Structure 1
Amino acid sequence: MAGRRLSLRTLVFFGGAMLMLVLAVVTAVLYTAALQRRAEELRVEKLTTRGELSANLLARRLHGVWMDVARLATLIDSTNPASAREQIQFMSRLDTRYSWLGVSNLEGKVLAATDGTLEGERVEQEPWFRQGLDVTAAIDGNGAHDPAHLPPASMESSRSIDLAAPVQHAGSVTGVVGAQLNWNWVLEGMADLQAPGIEPVLLSRDRLVLFGPPDLVNKPLNIGSALAADRVNSSSLRERWPDGKDYFTVTVPMIGLADLPNLGWSLLIRQNADDAMAPTRELIRSFWVMLGTGALTALALLYLAAQWLRTPLRRLSEAAEAIVRDPASRAPYAETRFEEAARLSNALARMQSKLMDRSTS
């Protein structure tokens, strides 16, 4: 038994199976790896496009209200407090984007404001007043206010955006129009950017989450994409977030449009990597199932082919052994499956005939 050689069927079947399976598996592994890599690239490209469009939409909303404040400054006469108060009240009722509107004189005294809030107060130290004396300003007002100068509506939120513009009369600056955006209006705009499975995350200049998953809001974000938020160009990567899950994340480092002042905000667009790659994983799984089914079918056909090749050779070898024992034994089977077997069958038949002639002479 130790010296028994492998049969032709075994050699053909296992040799062919090894060649076929090794090539198939190596090719399949390379193909599926390339497929997954390309799927990730396409997902990042889509998120990048969505991030840039979302940042542009948010910037357009902010730019629109910023321009409205600039236009409002051209309509108000700060030298006439009664008229200014009437216009402020009208705009406050008409436009719910503002949580507070007011106009001050050059000394920083509020002359008119929404519902009279802060009228008579001095706001000369407020950033919006100081910047609004010179240009139409937009300021991320978080932490930049004297609490005594915050209207009640603003104190309900931890965030504010201050807008201001110089009021001119007869060619000279006579006061400043100030506005605080209703933060809920900003949040509603961010909510409109959401899509199933895709989450926008708005970051402040100091990487504080202004909008995003509830467990991250008003907390600093110290992951790679947030640290890349101060770069000039967009970036993308796959990384683990504080919830322990992996996300494809695209960073749009600056939210601005035309001459809108930079608020220092940046936008992240994230998508759960497992959810994003689920269709690709299903495709790869189906591919492996089809490959496995095809491999089993091929192995079955290979086994039948090996058996088909082995049968005539087995019959011929048995016939040759029988002739050695007894030249008058049954004639070899006339093989016709392939040329070599047919030639060998004919040769054995002639050899048997000659052996029988010699034995009878």
Structure 2
Amino acid sequence: MANRGLSLRTLVFVGGATLMLVPAIVTATLYTAALEQRGEELQVEKLTTRGELSANLLARRLYGVWMDLARMADLIDPTDPANAREHIQFLSRLDGRYSWLGIADLEGKVLAARDGMLEGASVAQRPWFRRGLDAPAAVDVHEAQLLASLLPVSAEPYRFVDLAAPLRLGGSVVGVIGAHLNWKWVQEGMAALQAPGIDVLLLSRDRTVLFGPTDLVNKRLSVGSALAASRVTRAFSSERWPDGKDYFTVIVPSIGFADLPSFGWSLLIRQNADDAMSSTRELIRLFWIILGAGAVVALALLLCAAQWLRTPLRRLSESAQAILLDPGARPPHQETRFEEAARLSDALAHMQSKLMGRRSNS
């Protein structure tokens, strides 16, 4: 007896399921991959926009102070220390951001300063003075040196960022005006830029975290995005950080506005990748659930269709076997479900009629 092949129902069900599910799964996989990629792009765009706005806001805050200092440099006559002291005292009392404000001559001797602090002392070795002799200058955050013993006692060391500009008289440089800005003022500005789930880190020129999560402050970053910041190139990456988590990271390589001297700072904006993509991945998960539910319904309908096709053919095959054994067997069922089954049913009935006629004649 010949080996029997697969039933029509099995062939229809398996073949139909293959033709239906394979393209659907491939298409769905490509679609969800594109959806996740687009979700990442949207997150990057959001972080980039926040980074650019944050850098602009921070730069404008610093620029406001710089403009005051630049105007003061134009107003002050270094040959008249008393008048210079009045201007300095007025601006210092008007603006609490200055921890110290003063002018020094070409030798570095302080001629006039806020509250008389450091007057007569030499600042010739201070970076702000040396740089300020040549051009407008900005000096990165540092702890108080000469002022440490003159300022009120504080639980934490005083930290400043410095701005300086040349003092000119008759077109020649005759001194330097310098300002120490309280670092807490910069920290307050950075704190205002933070958002839930998004970290805005302020990096120094050597990739040290000046402001950011407490576990990273005063540490030098070695992740790829921080290295990109030190090369002054805008970059985006999804990378593993020392805490073992993956973050989307965007770099704003410089913080500047108009003619504000550069501190060498850059902004790094990061967001936990799982948190950033949670809504997109939830959408993808829901998509697969709906697709799976639709596939189950489709397979159930396909099974019903396969059974619907199989039933008339099964009845006709049983009738054919019965007629083969006994031409006088029950006539085949009159099939009407589809044309081919109907024609086969009629042909089988006609064949049975002929076999019955031959038996009668014999």
Q: TM-score by structure 2 length?
A: 0.92
One-letter amino acid matched to 1:152: L
Q: Which residue of 2 aligns with 1:234?
A: 234
User: Does the Cα contact within 8 Å between 1:99 and 1:154 map onto a contact in 2?
Assistant: no
The residue correspondences of 1:109-148 to structure 2 (distance < 5 A) are 109-142=109-142, 147-148=145-146
- The Cα of 1:159 is off from its aligned counterpart by 4.1
Q: Which residue of 1 aligns with 2:268?
A: 268
Q: Deviations over 1:1-42 (max 9, x none)?
A: 993432111111122112222222222112211211222122
Over 3 Å counting, the alpha-carbon distance change for 1:308 and 1:163 in structure 2 is same
One-letter amino acid matched to 1:148: L
Give the Cα–Cα distance (whole angstroms) in 1 for the partners of residues 265 and 198 of structure 2. Answer: 19
Residue segments in structure 2 that go unaligned for 5+ positions in a row: none
Q: Which residue of 2 aligns with 1:355?
A: 355
Give the Cα–Cα distance (whole angstroms) in 2 for the partners of residues 244 and 320 of structure 1. Answer: 72
Q: Is the partner of 1:334 in helix, strand or coil?
A: coil
Over 3 Å counting, the alpha-carbon distance change for 1:153 and 1:56 in structure 2 is farther
Aligned CA-pair RMSD? 2.2
Aligned length: 359
- The Cα of 1:317 is off from its aligned counterpart by 0.9
Residue segments in structure 1 that go unaligned for 5+ positions in a row: none
The residue correspondences of 1:70-219 to structure 2 (distance < 5 A) are 70-142=70-142, 147-150=145-148, 152=151, 156-157=156-157, 159-169=159-169, 172-219=172-219
User: Does the Cα contact within 8 Å between 1:123 and 1:149 map onto a contact in 2?
Assistant: no
One-letter amino acid matched to 2:151: P
Residue 292 in structure 1 maps to residue 292 in structure 2: yes
Q: Which residue of 1 aligns with 2:31?
A: 31
User: Does the Cα contact within 8 Å between 2:142 and 2:159 map onto a contact in 1?
Assistant: yes
One-letter amino acid matched to 1:112: A
User: Does the Cα contact within 8 Å between 1:154 and 1:160 map onto a contact in 2?
Assistant: no
User: Does the Cα contact within 8 Å between 2:141 and 2:183 map onto a contact in 1?
Assistant: no
Which deviates further from its counterpart, 233-242 or 50-59? 50-59
Give the Cα–Cα distance (whole angstroms) in 1 for the partners of residues 185 and 2 of structure 2. Answer: 86
Residue 255 in structure 1 maps to residue 258 in structure 2: no
Which deviates further from its counterpart, 10-19 or 197-206? 10-19
One-letter amino acid matched to 1:297: V
User: Does the Cα contact within 8 Å between 2:207 and 2:230 map onto a contact in 1?
Assistant: no
Q: Is the partner of 2:104 in helix, strand or coil?
A: strand
**Aligned-residue identity in percent:** 70
One-letter amino acid matched to 1:194: Q
Which deviates further from its counterpart, 253-262 or 206-215? 253-262
- The Cα of 1:173 is off from its aligned counterpart by 4.3
Q: Is the partner of 1:152 in helix, strand or coil?
A: coil
Over 3 Å counting, the alpha-carbon distance change for 1:32 and 1:171 in structure 2 is closer
Residue 20 in structure 1 maps to residue 25 in structure 2: no
Residue 304 in structure 1 maps to residue 304 in structure 2: yes
- The Cα of 1:136 is off from its aligned counterpart by 2.7
